[in-house]
Structure 1
């Protein structure tokens, strides 16, 4: 008789990967590109995990839909270009994360996954980089 499977889910940003610098940098470029003041670092980090449209509405209250969309697109573009340029250095894994994942993955009854607001493309790029 086999053991029951155990599902283990991880968040990505701030749990497995230290993406604070990547996120704050892309936010700064998005806001600068839209001609808006860049929110403080702590405000930016407080929205990690939200969808981009919701995050932008939180960080830029009162802005119209076109401005929110411009912020979203500016963020995506900046983040993607920085990720392509930096590779694995863009969002480094926290010390011990890779080893912990490998140990858990070696147990046949454990099924590992992620639950994240990061796009599928972003998760796949992070996995490929590491």
Structure 2
């Protein structure tokens, strides 16, 4: 059995760690927020494992005994740190916009499935001017958190496409598992959170190191991969 790129009509991107190099700021902001909330400061490794989840699920994963009051305070501190105070850069990964443009030239629809809140994605779109590339988006407050396939199923329903007509691009096990459960082919990118060893556990059609390498794969429509 082979996976053929020419059959794909929709390419769905995760955002943090896949399109945007925001992992460092997420880790720093979460650690500072925990400190300000008088909670045990999680390790960088622990924080990286929750990237892609909704904040509610991320908080309960990192801090299982969180009270409602602590949850609210942690949310306020984290948002303030990530949006306003933390100076850690969050550039787009090299080749992101070139990839989007090339796929649109190939008449592919693009979508985003992200653990970001809607306000966060809207803010990034306003800052980067990238919104026009995407036919639709789903955020953490639009659907059940990854790795539940809900946001992908919503995207498929909206675009009226079948799972085999879509392709998910992500950097975490949450992305790969979500796509696997939705029956959508997937490609892992190792420049974010998880490496090839983790991503390969979810039977991706390919694992790449960066977006230029991904573009070379996705702009060869006659190319087929064994699956």
Q: Same fold (TM over 0.5)?
A: yes
C-alpha contact (below 8 Å) 1:5/1:111 kept by paired residues: no
Structure 1 residues 98 and 33: CA distance shift in structure 2, 3 A: same
> How many residues align structurally?
122
The structure in which a higher percent of residues are helix is 1
What residue in structure 2 maps to residue 47 of structure 1? 50
Name the CA distance, whole Å, in 2 between partners of 1:7 and 1:50: 23
CA RMSD of aligned residues (A): 2.1
8 Å contact from structure 1 (residues 12, 116) kept in 2? yes
Which consecutive residues of structure 2, in runs of 5 or more, have no partner in the other structure? Answer: 1-6, 129-227
Give TM-score scaled by structure 1 length. Answer: 0.83
Structure 1 segments unaligned to the other structure (5+ residues): none
2:81 aligned to 78, 82, 93, which one?
78
Decide which structure has greater strand share.
2
Partners in 1 of 2:78 and 2:68 — Cα distance?
15
- 1:119 is matched with 117
TM-score by length of structure 2 reads 0.49
Q: State the secondary structure of the residue aligned to 2:10.
A: strand
Q: CA deviation at 1:5?
A: 8.5
Query: What is the CA–CA distance in structure 2 between the aligned matches of 1:15 and 1:113, rounded to whole Å?
Result: 13
Distance (whole Å) between structure 1 residues aligned to residue 127 and residue 110 of structure 2: 18
Match of 2:91 in 1: 92
CA change 1:111–1:57 in 2 (3 A) is same
C-alpha separation in 1, matches of 2:100 and 2:124 = 14
Larger RCO: Structure 1 or Structure 2 (Cα < 8 Å, ≥ 6 residues apart)? 1
For the residue of structure 1 that corresponds to 2:76, the secondary structure is: helix
